[in-house]
Structure formats: structure tokens, C-alpha cells
Structure 1
Amino acid sequence: MTIALSVAVVVVTSVFGFLNGFRDASNAVGLTVRTRALTPSIAVVLAAFFNVIGALTSAWLLNYFGGSWLKTPDGGRGLVLLLAGVAAGSLWNVYLWWRGYPSSSTHALVGGIAGASIAAVLTGHSPQAGVADVLWLQVWLPLILSPLLAFGAAFFLTSLVTWLARYRQPSEAHAALRASQSVGTAAVAFGHGLQDGQRIIAVLVLATLGSRADWSAVPPWIVGVAAAALGLGTLAGGWRITYTLSHRLVRTDPLRGFVSQAVTTVMLFFGALWLHWPLSTTHTVAASILGAGSNQDFAAVKGNLLARLVAFWIATPLATALLGLILGLALDPLARF
């Protein structure tokens, strides 16, 4: 039964990785397609390639991330916990994709595992250490800080870029900015793979090697599975969310698209390489789009849609925790075999 559970976790985690790339493709390609810097097909292929490269590169960051990840017990109980948590995150991600709302896959995953940990306590197992710390450091603190930083940076950087381009013809400036957006698409996709690849690889390591695994020597096949799942999902492209970010949420142009991608790239690299923070690509992209779009002389942001978007951001870890709790209770008998 333990081997069957391990295989099930690997399969469900691969599906989660596919959905991660499928939904978050919009973060890299939405603005580029909206401003016609690239065609949709070229933008998606470019994003998929650099998503894979980012996921492969993220393996060397696991030595830090593995130590900060929620520890799971070895054996059937730990596998059931992972299975319930990842399945909860996947179900929520599908629901929000169907609604067309971008949200954090990382927050969905952490919330699901936290709910499954609560289910383990309710069924008589000892509580998992560090659940509260993981929720605070990987969900609530980044949820509060990263959108505020991205919004503020994009708002003020838009004024700076506008001032720098003040003597250039709009058509000339937009042509240069569209070319820069092609690089921005690759950078955002690489940063996404660098951030989210870690989470997918970490779950696969826990499912196959246990919590005592050597995080500095992850088997290549695990890294390959995570990278392939992200890449294939990106190629599939979640266009519902792309439309929300690039058309419904805020009016934008090549200048503001460039600013948003620049802010997102810097924050993702800064968070992953220096602070080791699990910054949400979705939150960072959406907030930077809002910041750049708000720096206009006319109303550009759709307030009602923004309110629903923020509500779903807050609801994501809570909803997946509830789903993880329910699935954890339902799957608990499997841990006894």
C-alpha cells in the first residue's frame, strides 16, 4: 500500500505541476500578447521553454527550501497527508481557472497540506510541527507584502519610464518597449519556474524519499518530472486567466506592460535568490499590472473585478485547507494499511 500511495502522490503532484503551468502561463504571456509584442503561439512556446529552464535551475535552491518546508512523517500517514493536500490544491486551481481568476498555486498547496495536517490530528495522530510558521512565512506574509511592493514599485516606475521616453515619438517608444517585452516574457517565465519548481520538486522528494532526504542531491528524474509538468502545462495555456489579466482587469499599453514585467522579474529573482521567500508569481504580476495601470489620467482599473480577485486570494489558503481537511479525513484509512 505504501508503494501505491507513493505512486499516487507522484501522479497527483505531476497533475498539480501541469495545472500550475497551465494557469500561470498567463503571468508570462498575458501582457506580451495584449500589446502584440508576440503572437500567442510564440509567446507560449517561449514561456514554456524558460519555465522548464527555471524549474531545472530551482533544484540547487532546494538545500535551503527543503529545510523550511513542512515536515511530513514517513510512511503511509505522510503520504496520505501529501495526497490530500496536493489534491485539494489541484481541485481549487481547476475551479479558479474555470472562473477565470488568477491565484497562487503555492498558497493553494500550502493551505491543502495544512488542512490535511489538521485532519491527521483529528484522527488521533500527533500534530505536525511548524504548521503555523509555514502558513505565516509562506502564505500570509508574502500575501500581504508582495502585492503592496509590486503595486508601489510599478506605479512609481511608470512615471520614471514615461519621463525617460518623453522626447521619443509614441510609435518609436512602443516599438522598443514591445521588443523589451519579449525578453520580459522569458524572464518572468524563468522566475516562475525558479519559484514554483521548488514546491513541486519538494513534494516529489517527500513522496519518494521521505523527510530525511538529502536536499542537496535530488535525483534527476524528480527534477525532470517537475520541469516537464510545468512546461507541458504552459504549452496548453490557461487562456481564461490570460484574458482576465490582460483585458478585463486594467487597460494597458507597451510601456505599462514593460514596467509590470520588469517589476515582476526583479521581485521573483530577489525573493528566490536572496530572501528565499516563496513569492507568488500571480500576485506579483497582477499587482504590478494594477500599479502600472493606475498611473494614468483616466480610470483604468475595474474595481469590482479587483475586489473579487483579492477576495479569492484571501480565500485560497482557507478553501484549500478545508478541502485538505475533508480529503485527509476521507483518505485516513489508507494510512493504516
Structure 2
Amino acid sequence: MDTALLGTIVVIVTAMIFNYTNGFHDAANAIATSVSTRALRPRVALGMAALGNVVGSFLGAKVAATVGEGIVSLPSNSASLVVVFAGLIGAIVWNLITWYFGLPASSSHSLIGGQVGATLAAITLGIDGSVKWGGILEKVIVPMIISPVIGLVLGYFVMIGIMWIFRRQPPGKLNRGFRYAQPFSAAAMSLGHGMQDAAKTMGIVVLALVVGGRQTDYQIPLWVFFLTAIVIAAGTFSGGWRVIRTLGRRIIHLDPPQGFAAEITASSVLYVAAIGFGAPISTTHTITSAIMGVGATKRLSAVRWGVAGNIVTAWVLTLPAAALFSLITYYACYLVVH
């Protein structure tokens, strides 16, 4: 087996490990609100989220293209495969750290930060490559700032609308009705997660195939769709209970109408970003901000802003932290090889 082929296989396997951690780390994105409101049993919710991830992955080609060819530029050789590998390791490390502390940080931005950090490390050692700062600003940084704001504001007004429309309904009847509706909003959320997060891993796999000399364009092979979908679904089904508890209960205790409003808001933002712009936004940022916006309709003090502050800190740290871990990983790989 030639070196380039072996390196490509190693990178793809590593990408699937990241994909699995993405699944169990971000399972909370799709099901936390439905589980916390008791609209769905945990295992049923996880199974539905896994299925949604499978279906959604086939709809995320635009996002995959952005991640695969819009973040970094690398030549087709074995040295570039080491860069992609180091980027994935940095993303996996940050995913596991934030999962351990129950912080719903962005797996998407871990992946992007990892690729940027590894590429910068390679450049300092004279390896060909470049970071596409314009693409990162347009497709990552701007959406990273805008999407949580939209989620917060839209979640607030969607909940206000629900409260006004159903203002004459008895609370018990209203809760029962929205508990029946929540499986549909949770399904929409899990589909959006597949469109975004599974697609990002597909983009990295295609990048590995290109720099490893296995293909010359950034088209996604059919087997990549299936492999990525199955692995992220398996990760989702394993559950990320630490993060689920944070999103479902520690920010605010949601009732069924609030859970429905948060999920509908977040899934709408994910669809528009993926289908309309191919922007790899964070499902974590989007659903968390939607929960905050919905919760604020009760009263501002109903949201545990201290917990929210810790989450926002993790958001801010994700890109540079994943980049740092990837940079260290790349230097370590370089020392071993040389």
C-alpha cells in the first residue's frame, strides 16, 4: 500500500472518530428540549435524532463544499494529509473537553479551528498551504456572530406569537397539545443538525481525498454520504447526556410550548443557512440562543445567565482552542516524521 493511500485512510478514519464525537456531543441540539419537557422518552428521542441526521446529511452538500474547499488551501501530497489529520485531532480533543464539562460548544467551529491551526503550523515550517481568511470571515465568523442573535430574537418573538395566539387556552390543554407537536419540531431540528454537522465532516473527507490524490475535484462520492451519515447517527444514538442536561435544564426549565418554539426557531435558522448560503453555522449556538430567547419571555431572571455566560465563554474559546491543540499536534507529528 502506498504512503498516500495509507495516509488518506488514516485521515478518513480520524474524521469518522471526530464525526462520532460530534454525534454524541451535539445530540443535545436535537433532543434536549423534547426530553426536558417529557414530550419524548430519551431513547426514542435519540433514535429519532439519529434518523434525522442520516436524512439531513444528504441535504448538506453546500455546507460540505464550504468546509472542504473554502477554509484552507493545501497541495496534493502526503504532507497535506498530516495537516488535515492534525486539524481533526485538535477538534476531537476540544470536543471531549467541552463534553466532559457539559458545555454545549460548537463541534463545527472545533473542526474549522482545527484545520486553520494545523495549516498555520505547517506554513511556519515551510509547508505549502494557505488559510482562506476571506472565506472564513464571510462563511464562518459573520454567521457565527449573526446566527445566535437571530436565534435569540426570533425565539423571543416566536414564543410571544404562540402566547398571543393561544392566550385563551387552559395551560393544561396547551401543554398537552404542544407535547404532541414537539416530536415534529425535534425531528426538524435533527434534520437541520444532519444538514450542518454531518456535511462538515463530509467536506473534510473530500479534502483528504483531494490532497491524498484520490480525486481531483470536490464532488462528494456517494459512499462518503452513507459513511458519514451512519457514523454521526451512531454517535447521536449513544447520547451526550452531560450536554443534554445543560441545554435541557440548567439554562431554563422549559414547558412544551417553549420547547416547540425553540426547536422551530433553531431549525429554521439552520435550514436557511445551509440551503440558502452554504454557511457552516453552529447548531449548538443556534439552539442555545433560541432557548435563551424563548426563556426570556417568562422574565429575564428566568434564564440562568451565569450558566449562559459559561456557554458563551466556551463559544468564544472554541476556534482558538481547537486551533491551538491542532497546532501542537502538527508540531508533534512533524517531529516524529522528521
Number of the residue aligned with 2:242: 240
Percent same amino acid among aligned pairs?
A: 31
Equivalent-residue separation in structure 2 for 1:213 and 1:287 (angstroms): 40
> 2:81 is matched with which residue?
79
Q: Quote the residue 1:162 is aligned against.
A: 163
Whether the 8 Å contact between 1:6 and 1:79 is mirrored in structure 2 is: yes
Residues 1:139 and 2:140 are matched in the alignment: yes
Shift of 1:261: 0.5
**1:213 aligned to 2:216?**
yes
Relative to structure 1, is the Cα distance of residues 103 and 64 closer, same or farther in structure 2, using a 3 angstrom cutoff? closer
Task: Give the letter aligned to residue 182 of structure 2.
Answer: Q
Q: CA deviation at 1:140?
A: 2.1
Tell me how far apart the structure 1 counterparts of residues 18 and 135 of structure 2 sit (CA, whole Å). Answer: 20
Return the match for 2:258 from 236, 256, 259. 256
Alpha-carbon distance in 1 for matches of 2:159, 2:324? 40
Q: CA deviation at 1:70?
A: 2.4
One-letter amino acid of the structure 1 residue matched with residue 216 of structure 2:
A
Contact 2:114 2:325 in 1 (8 A): yes
1:51 & 1:114 partners in 2: Cα distance? 26
2: CA distance between counterparts of 1:251 and 1:304? Answer: 15
- The residue that corresponds to 1:320 in the other structure is 322
Structure 1: 5+ residue stretches without partners: none
Residue of 252, 267, 276 corresponding to 1:274: 276
Q: Deviations over 1:265-319 (max 9, x none)?
A: 1101110111221111000000000000011147211122111111110000010
Cα pair 1:205 1:213 within 8 Å, conserved = no
SS in 2 for 1:125: coil
Q: Which amino acid aligns with 1:193?
A: G
Distance 1:213 1:70 in 2: 16
Bigger Cα displacement from structure 2, 189-198 vs 234-243: 189-198
* Separation in structure 2 between the aligned mates of residue 129 and residue 33 of structure 1, nearest angstrom: 40
- Residue 165 of structure 1 and its aligned partner are, at CA, apart by 0.5
Q: CA deviation at 1:65?
A: 5.9
Return the alpha-carbon distance in structure 2 between the equivalents of residues 327 and 302 of structure 1: 36
2:334 matched residue in structure 1: 332
Partner of 1:184: 185
Relative to 1, partners in 2 of residues 1:128 and 1:40: Cα closer, same or farther, differing over 3 Å?
A: same
Q: How far 1:141 moved relative to its partner?
A: 1.4
Partner of 1:229: 231
The Cα shift of 1:62 comes to 4.5
Residues 118, 69 of structure 1: CA spacing in aligned structure 2 closer, same or farther, 3 A cutoff?
A: closer
Counterpart of 1:57 in 2: which secondary structure?
Answer: coil
CA distance in 2, matches of 1:157, 1:109: 31
SS of the residue 2:104 aligns to: coil
The alpha carbon displacement at 1:69 in A equals 4.1
Q: Give the TM-score normalised by the residue count of structure 2.
A: 0.94
Task: Map 1:9-24 onto structure 2 (within 5 A).
Answer: 9-24=11-26
Per mean C-alpha deviation after superposition, the further-off stretch among 69-78 and 83-92 is 69-78
Report how far residue 19 of structure 1 moved: 0.7
Once the two structures are superposed, residues 11-63 of structure 1 have per-residue CA deviations (whole angstroms, 9 ceiling, x without a partner) of: 11000000111111101110001111111111110110111111133247656
Taking structure 1 as the reference length, the TM-score comes to: 0.94
| Alignment-derived partner of residue 42 in structure 1 | 44
Q: Is the 8 A contact 2:74 2:128 kept in 1?
A: no
Letter aligned with residue 208 of structure 1: L
Cα drift, residue 250 of structure 1: 1.4
> Closer, same or farther in 2 for the Cα pair 1:94/1:61, shift >3 Å?
closer
**Does structure 1 conserve the Cα–Cα contact (< 8 Å) formed by 2:66 and 2:203?**
no
Q: Structure 2: 5+ residue runs without aligned partners?
A: none
1:146-201: CA deviations, max 9, x gaps? 11110011112211110100111111111111111100111111111011122111
Q: Is the 8 A contact 1:62 1:215 kept in 2?
A: no
Q: Deviations along 1:311-334, whole A, 9 cap, x unmatched? A: 110000010111111111111257
- Partner deviation per Cα, 1:61-114 (whole Å, 9 max, x = no partner): 656664434222211121011000011000100010000000111110111111
| Native 8 Å contact 2:54 2:233 kept in 1 | yes
Does the aligned pair in 2 maintain the 1:107–1:138 contact within 8 Å? Answer: no
Moved more, 193-202 or 57-66: 57-66
* Structure 2 contact 28–244 (Cα < 8 Å) conserved: yes
Deviation at 1:127, TM superposition (A): 4.3
CA contact (8 A) 1:80 1:335 kept: no
> Runs (4+) of structure 1 moved beyond 6 Å?
none
Distance 2:65 2:109 in 1: 21
C-alpha contact (below 8 Å) 1:101/1:244 kept by paired residues: yes
Separation in 2, partners of 1:190, 1:70: 27
2-side partners of 1:121 and 1:60: how far apart? 28
Q: How far, CA to CA, are the matches of 1:111 and 1:204 in structure 2?
A: 16
Q: Could you tell me whether the CA contact under 8 Å between 2:67 and 2:280 is conserved in 1? A: no
2:39 match: secondary structure: coil
| Residue correspondences, number | 334
Q: SS at the partner of 1:299?
A: helix
